[in-house]
Structure formats: structure tokens, C-alpha cells
Structure 1
Amino acid sequence: MCIDVHHHFFLDAQKKAKKNLEVGWRTPDENLPWGPQISLAAMDKLGVQTAILSPPPLSSASCGVETRAEVRQQNIYASQLCTEYPKRFGFLAGLPCLDDVEGSLEEIAFSFDVLGADGVALISCYGDGDSAKYVADGLYDPIWKELNRRRAVVFLHGAQTPSSTPYPHPWLGLPISEVPNETYKAAAHLVVSGKKRRFPNVNIILAHLGGSTPFLAARVAALSHHMGCPLTPDEIIEDFKSFYYETALSAHETTLTAMATLVPSDRLLFGTDFPAVSTKTVEWYTKNLKTHFAGRPLDLANIMCDNALRLFPNLGKAKVECLSAGTPGQ
């Protein structure tokens, strides 16, 4: 059994594919137009029992109360898929731009209390240009306070934010070159601002093994302390170790070896980033993951399934049911 914690859904797949082209990414043709059957077929091929759905990351510039209706529609749709396929899908609720604090708090309440969400999905920053704010900005403290009260799981994904220069090559678009750094910047912001310690009950999963985080954490530890961060270098490293890290588009001997020096296997989760990528791409990363842990079956079982079951206890019932049945099932 395998649980995929990084699995997107598209309400308007063609619109999403067009937006992806604008940032330098081509959605696999075979995944368009997307519908739940596309994901279910891929999950069966990949050996994934349950996928935890999250909405595609909003543009970091998509701020305004008008996004409330779009986000509400996405969350209702995801919850309907979970009702239709209770053993196959969970979901992480999207929120409007966090600048809309009131709307975000309302969506948290609706998603958890009415829709039964398994957590929420956030991006690294909100707003555009000089007005952009990263997730640990003080304006967002009421949102973090509520997530902390609920002991919520947060899936944190880097925003598709362009740098001050064009991306260097058509084969090195924003999702490849910029998103990993955005994830790192958001994680580092949470750490050096003290918000990771202030809201300790929020379980934060960093997408793509944290992007650049494993390689830059030590740089932050000493240099941010030098610049005035009251946390000691060791405390900063400790806080980076308190995140969860998922494997989508990142599992390779080099990255997994680096992760082993940062966190134990109980902080790693399996992810695919489907349907933004093909099953062929997912299979390549999954083969790397399984090869790396070939001699450590308990560690591999933790990553592929058991860590997610501990983090998302509502999935436990589905595990018991599917094991007793012997097949994935609807």
C-alpha cells in the first residue's frame, strides 16, 4: 500500500495547462482533459492506494476577495471526490490569498467543519512584486493561530514566482528553477521569524523534499543568526528538522542521502505531483526511492505509507478496509 500526499486536481484542466505554458511547463498530453479517472488509473498503475488531493497552486498574484468563490468551488469539488471514492482520495483545502485574512479563516472553518478536509494547502508567498508577503508575515498570524489551534496539517508548495531575470532556457522553466527556491524561502521565513516555534502544533509538509532547504539550512543557521536572528545556529537547524518532507520529483540518491543527514525516515512522505507530470516520470523517481531504501524495508514502509497514516489518522480506516479486502477498491 502506498499513500501519495502530493497529488493535484484540476477543475478546468485546459485552463491550467495554458497557465502552465506561461511559466514554462508542459502538462503531459495524456493527463488532459483531467478527471478523477485519469488519477485513479495512474494510481492503480503506480500502486497508490490513496492520494491526498490538493488544488493547483494559485498564482502568487491572485489576491482579492474574488478568489473566495473559486477556492470554495475547488474545495467542494475535492470533498465530493472523497465522498465518491472514500478509500482512494483525501483532500487538502485551498485558501484564498492570505491577505484576505477573514476569508481564509472562514474557509478553514468551512473546510474542516463542513467538508472534513485533511489539512490545508498553502503557497510560499502571496501578492506580486514589492507587495508580496511570505507565509510567516505578521499579517497572517491569525491564520496560523487558528491552524495551530486545530493541530492542522499544512502542505507548503513553492509559488511559481518569476525571478528578476527570465528563466534561462525553455527546458528550465519556473517549476524547475524557481519553485524549489520558493519552498526554501518560505520554510526559512517560518524558522527565522520564530513562527515555526510559535505555532508548534501545525504539522508542515514541505513539497519536493523542501526544494533547496536541505542544502541551505546550514547557511541560514549561521548567517541569519549573524544578521540578528535571536535563535542560535543549532536552534535554527532544529527547527528545519521539525518539518515533514515529501519526495515528489526529488527522490534520488543524492537528495535522499542529504535528507538522511537532516531528518529521520519518519519525517519523509511519498508524493508524486501527478497529474502535473506523467506516470513515466513518477515511476523514475519511485524506482530511485525504492532502490535507495532497498535494504531498509521498515524505513521504506514508513515513507510510502505509515508516516502518512500517522499524520492523517482519518486514512487509517481506509487502510484496514483495503487490507481486509485485498484490493484497492473504490
Structure 2
Amino acid sequence: MVCIDVHHHFFPADLNKEGSNEKLGWKTPPGTLPWSPGVSLRAMDASGIDIAILSLPALSMGSVSEENRAVTRERNLAMSSIAQQHSGRFGFLGCLPFLDDIEGVLKEIAYCFDELQADGISLASSYGVGVHATYIGDDKYDAIWAELHRRKAVVFLHGAMVASSTPTPHPFLPIPVSEVPNETFRAAAHLVVSGRKRLYSNVKIILAHLGGTTPSLAPRVSVLSRHMGCPLTPEEILEDFKSFYYETALSSYDANLVCIDKFVDPSHILFGTDFPAVSVEMAGWYTKNVRDHYGPEGRKLEMVFGGNALALFPRLQMKQDIK
């Protein structure tokens, strides 16, 4: 049984030091940073993971500039190099310049797929700061979605590190714990009610952390957004929420997995860990829950751990065939 981790982070030099997330209140576990491919390979071997798909941590701040484009290109070249040097162990999702740079984004999408053979693209839930932040379903990003739709791209959507309008309730509940899952839901809901999930249906979108609060709030959106003027029916809204893919990182617990089993087709559930933002032991707690939940259904366990990802990422299937 192949195991593919679709939520596994690449840390570039400017983020690659212990404590780099402390301003967000997050304590990076000892031993995960500074990160290198070797750190991930040791964790993968210890956890029984065959392939990890690298993605940059969700970064929503930036500017429209040549410098931003250059930094993005450097990061994509680094991930591509890692995937080539460790063939069969890593795939990668290309990152993009600050999303308001439409021209730069479209050029980088082409470079990622045509030159670097990326497995997909990673996006944050919104881009910008405070009142100037824009969710990814906004009208101004239509050209980007149209291109991803044309390419039938896989997109990994991760909630941005956005602070709430009120202070975090407790030091034990910093932004990554209490806000990021809600941001994933907001972006997913925005794509649905704006009609873009349906319009650009060729794009296969993976929601991080089982979609955060998406499965429980989707029925609320289906009726109340219709009431607020959404042209989609409640059934169509729910249908579009069910068309996302959902990965298990930091969210797999029996009650949550029962919920996602009821909500989406089994082929839309993927395995993830969020390493190295968390330790092998922390990720292992959730992995055990996946095994315990799907273990009695051997075929479904195989689908969640790797079969569904192989269907979603054909290049990984080719690597498995070569092996």
C-alpha cells in the first residue's frame, strides 16, 4: 500500500530557522527546523510515507514587484530540484507571486507546469493585509482561475495566517490553531457562492485540514447564502462543496472522519501530515486515527493513504510504475 502525504511543507531559507513562526504564537517543534530534504526523508521513513508533495507554507502578504517574482521563481526552482534529486520520494506544488500581479502569476503558472513539471499549484485563502485582503474567489483573479481551469490543474488551498478582528482568546489558541481552519472555509465558501467553483470545475481543489470548518458550515451556507441572493440553489451549493478534495492533516479524529465520510465521495479524501510544522509524533497521532478509522475497510484505507492521490497526480503514478 503506497502512502502519499499531500500536505508536506518546504521551508525556504528566509523561513528556515527554528522559531520563525513565533510572531504568530506558534512553537515549531524541536528537530523540524532548520529544514532540509533529509529532515523530511527521515520523518517519512519513520512514518511509512512513500511520497511527500512539497508546498510552501501559506503566505498571503507581499507586493506586485519584480523582487516578489524573483523570490517566487527561486522557491519553485528549489522545490523542483529537490523533486529531481530524490526521484520517487517528492513531488511539489508550485507557488505563485503575490496574486494581484496577474501577469506575473500567469507567467509563473506556465513556467511551473511547462518547464518544471509541477504537480499542481498551492494558494493561500486570501492575499493582502487587513481591509485590503482579497479572497481568491474575487473577480480580479478570474484570469488566473481560467488558466488553471484550462490546464485542469490541481490546487492545494491552505488557510492564510490571518488574525481575527478580536484578540486570540488564549496563548494556547494562536492563529495557526484557531484561525487558519476558518480561513480555509471562508475561501472555499467564497469560491462556491461566487459561482467560481462551478464555472472553473476543471480545477481540482484540495482543502487543507479536512476543509477546516467547511463540512459543518456548508449546510448553513447553502440556505442562508441563497437567502442573501446567491443564485445557486441550496442543493447546488452543497454539491459544489462536495466537489472539493479534503486532506486529513491535523484533523483526523473519528468524529471528523465519520462526518467527511458522510459528506464527500470516498475518492475525495486524501492523506496529509503538515510536517515539518508539526513533529513526527504529533502527525503520528492523527495518522493512527486514520488507520484505526479506515483499517476495518482495507480498500478505503488504501484509497485514503495513497490511491486517491495517485489518481489525482498522474505523474506520481508514473514514478510508482518505474519503481
Following the alignment from structure 2 to structure 1, what is the Cα–Cα distance between the partners of residues 162 and 251? Answer: 20
Secondary structure, counterpart of 2:7 in structure 1: strand
- Given the alignment of the two structures, is residue 294 of structure 1 paired with residue 304 of structure 2, yes or no? no
Q: CA deviation at 1:15?
A: 5.0
Deviations 1:144-199 (A, max 9, x none): 00000000000000000001112111111101000000000000000000000110
Following the alignment from structure 1 to structure 2, what is the Cα–Cα distance between the partners of residues 17 and 62? Answer: 22
Following the alignment from structure 1 to structure 2, what is the Cα–Cα distance between the partners of residues 141 and 3? Answer: 31
Which residue of 2 is the match for residue 190 of structure 1?
A: 191
Secondary structure, counterpart of 2:167 in structure 1: coil
The answer (yes or no) to whether the contact 1:13–1:34 under 8 Å persists in 2 is no
Deviations 1:103-150 (A, max 9, x none): 100100111111110000000000111111100000000000000000
State the one-letter code of the partner of 2:190. Answer: H
Secondary structure, counterpart of 2:263 in structure 1: coil
Which residue of 1 is the match for residue 110 of structure 2?
A: 109
Following the alignment from structure 1 to structure 2, what is the Cα–Cα distance between the partners of residues 111 and 64? Answer: 19
Following the alignment from structure 2 to structure 1, what is the Cα–Cα distance between the partners of residues 207 and 303? Answer: 17
Which residue of 2 is the match for residue 120 of structure 1?
A: 121
The answer (yes or no) to whether the contact 1:6–1:52 under 8 Å persists in 2 is yes
What TM-score do you get using the length of structure 2 for normalisation? 0.97
Q: CA deviation at 1:64?
A: 2.5
The answer (yes or no) to whether the contact 1:208–1:249 under 8 Å persists in 2 is yes
Q: CA deviation at 1:317?
A: 2.0
Which residue of 2 is the match for residue 45 of structure 1?
A: 46
Q: For residues 241 and 250 of structure 1, do their structure 2 counterparts lie closer, same or farther at Cα, with a shift above 3 Å needed?
A: same
The answer (yes or no) to whether the contact 2:16–2:34 under 8 Å persists in 1 is no
The worse-fitting range, judged by mean Cα deviation, of 88-97 and 62-71 is 62-71
Secondary structure, counterpart of 1:122 in structure 2: strand
Following the alignment from structure 1 to structure 2, what is the Cα–Cα distance between the partners of residues 52 and 138? Answer: 29
The answer (yes or no) to whether the contact 1:13–1:33 under 8 Å persists in 2 is no
- Over the aligned positions, Cα root-mean-square deviation in angstroms equals 1.1
Following the alignment from structure 2 to structure 1, what is the Cα–Cα distance between the partners of residues 297 and 196? Answer: 35
State the one-letter code of the partner of 2:162. Answer: T
- Given the alignment of the two structures, is residue 84 of structure 1 paired with residue 90 of structure 2, yes or no? no
State the one-letter code of the partner of 1:149. Answer: R
Secondary structure, counterpart of 2:121 in structure 1: strand
The answer (yes or no) to whether the contact 2:244–2:268 under 8 Å persists in 1 is yes
Which residue of 2 is the match for residue 216 of structure 1?
A: 217
The answer (yes or no) to whether the contact 1:5–1:52 under 8 Å persists in 2 is yes
Deviations 1:56-107 (A, max 9, x none): 111x232332321111111000000011011000000000111111110010
Which residue of 2 is the match for residue 96 of structure 1?
A: 97
State the one-letter code of the partner of 1:282. Answer: A
State the one-letter code of the partner of 2:45. Answer: D
What TM-score do you get using the length of structure 1 for normalisation? 0.95
Which residue of 1 is the match for residue 62 of structure 2?
A: 62
Deviations 1:23-82 (A, max 9, x none): 111111211211100000000011111100001111x23233232111111100000001
Following the alignment from structure 2 to structure 1, what is the Cα–Cα distance between the partners of residues 16 and 269? Answer: 32
> Where do 5+ consecutive residues of structure 2 fail to align?
none
Which residue of 2 is the match for residue 259 of structure 1?
A: 260
Secondary structure, counterpart of 1:201 in structure 2: coil
Counterparts of 1:1-330 in structure 2 under 5 Å? 1-12=2-13, 17-58=18-59, 60-65=60-65, 66-322=67-323
State the one-letter code of the partner of 2:100. Answer: D
The answer (yes or no) to whether the contact 1:63–1:126 under 8 Å persists in 2 is no
Query: What is the aligned residue count?
Result: 321
Q: For residues 63 and 134 of structure 1, do their structure 2 counterparts lie closer, same or farther at Cα, with a shift above 3 Å needed?
A: same
Following the alignment from structure 2 to structure 1, what is the Cα–Cα distance between the partners of residues 155 and 141? Answer: 14
The answer (yes or no) to whether the contact 1:153–1:203 under 8 Å persists in 2 is yes
The answer (yes or no) to whether the contact 1:247–1:269 under 8 Å persists in 2 is yes
Q: CA deviation at 1:320?
A: 2.4
The answer (yes or no) to whether the contact 2:17–2:34 under 8 Å persists in 1 is no
Following the alignment from structure 1 to structure 2, what is the Cα–Cα distance between the partners of residues 7 and 258? Answer: 24
Following the alignment from structure 1 to structure 2, what is the Cα–Cα distance between the partners of residues 98 and 18? Answer: 27
State the one-letter code of the partner of 2:256. Answer: T
Q: CA deviation at 1:16?
A: 5.7
The answer (yes or no) to whether the contact 2:8–2:276 under 8 Å persists in 1 is yes
Q: CA deviation at 1:321?
A: 3.4
Following the alignment from structure 2 to structure 1, what is the Cα–Cα distance between the partners of residues 117 and 275? Answer: 23
The answer (yes or no) to whether the contact 2:16–2:35 under 8 Å persists in 1 is no
